[in-house]
Amino acid sequence: MRCQRWLWLALLLGLTIWGSSLATQLYRHAQQPPDAVLVLGGSIRREIVVADAVAQGNPLPILISHGAAPPCTRLVFERVAAPIDQVWLESCAESTFDNYRYSLPTLKQWGTQHVVVVTSPTHVPRAAWLARILLSSHGIWVEMQLVEEIGIPANVETPLKTVLDVGRSLAWAIISQLYRPVCDRVFPLSSVDLAEWAAQGFQCEHQADIQIPDSGPN
C-alpha cells in the first residue's frame, strides 16, 4: 500500500510538472504570430479562402488534411495565381480526430508553435475541442479561422459524437507523447500532375465552379 501511494504521488508530481511546463510554453506561443496553417477537409470553400490569402501574400506553410481531390485543390490555387510551393496535402485522415493525429507529425517537423486551423462554423465546436487537446498537448497554440459553407454542411455534429471524440483525444494526448503514427501520403501540392489526373477523370465540388481541363486526344 505504501509503495502504491508513493507511485501515485510520483505520477501526480510528474503530471503537475508537465502541465505547468506545457502551460508556460502555450502562453509563450500564444504571444507569437501564427507560423503555420492547417486546413481541415470537409468543404472546398476552405481551400478557396486559403488560396486567396496566399495569392494576397500569406507566406505561411499550409497543410490541407484530406481536403478536396488534389487536382481540384491545385486548380483552386492556380485560378488565383497563388504560389503552391508552401502547400502540402495529407490524405490519410478519415475523421476530425485523424485530421489532427496525422497532421501533428508534419506540424512538429515544421517546428510549428502557433497554428491557424481553418474549418467551418458548423464544425467548430468539436474541431476546436480536439485541436486544443491534441495539438496543445504538444505545445502548439491553436487559433481557429471560420469559413462559411454554402449549401448543406459536410460535417454533421451531435453531442454524442463530440463526447466520444473528446474522450479518445484525451487518451491520445498522452499516448502521442511516446507514439505518433506518420501518414505515408503527405505530399506537396506542386507534385499533383493535372494532365495525369485529367486522363483518369475527376470531379470537383460544384461550389468551386472549377473548369476541369480536357485530357486531350487519347
Going residue by residue through the chain (218 aa), what tens digit of pLDDT does each one get?
Answer: 667 777 777 777 777 887 788 899 999 999 999 999 999 998 999 999 999 999 999 999 999 999 999 999 999 999 999 999 999 999 999 999 999 999 999 999 999 999 999 999 988 889 999 999 999 999 999 999 999 887 665 556 778 888 999 999 999 999 999 998 999 999 999 999 999 999 999 999 888 888 877 765 54
Nearby residues of 24 by Cβ (< 8 Å), 6 or more positions away: none
| CA dist list (Å): 83 to 45, 92, 105, 129, 200 | 18, 24, 24, 31, 25
Give the number of residues written for the chain.
Answer: 218
d(Cα 162, Cα 146) in Å, to the nearest integer? 18
What pLDDT score does 21 carry?
85
d(Cα 183, Cα 181) in Å, to the nearest integer? 7
What pLDDT score does 216 carry?
58
Cell numbers representing residue 116 in the block: 491557424
Identify whether the C-beta of residue 166 lies closer than 8 Å to the C-beta of residue 129: yes
| Residue with the three cell numbers 486567396 | 52
What pLDDT score does 71 carry?
97
What pLDDT score does 12 carry?
77
d(Cα 176, Cα 112) in Å, to the nearest integer? 16
DSSP 8-state secondary structure symbol assigned to residue 214? P
Segment holding 65, helix H or strand E: strand 62-65
How would you label 31-40 residue by residue, b for 16+ Cβ within 10 Å and e otherwise? Answer: eeebbbbbbb
- Which amino acid type is present at position 77? F
What pLDDT score does 159 carry?
82
Cell numbers representing residue 63 in the block: 497543410
d(Cα 74, Cα 51) in Å, to the nearest integer? 9
DSSP 8-state secondary structure symbol assigned to residue 92? -
Q: Are strands 186-188 and 87-90 parallel, antiparallel or unpaired?
A: antiparallel
d(Cα 114, Cα 107) in Å, to the nearest integer? 10
HSE-CB of 180 using CA atoms within 13 angstroms: 19
Q: How many CB atoms lie within 10 A of CB 174?
A: 11
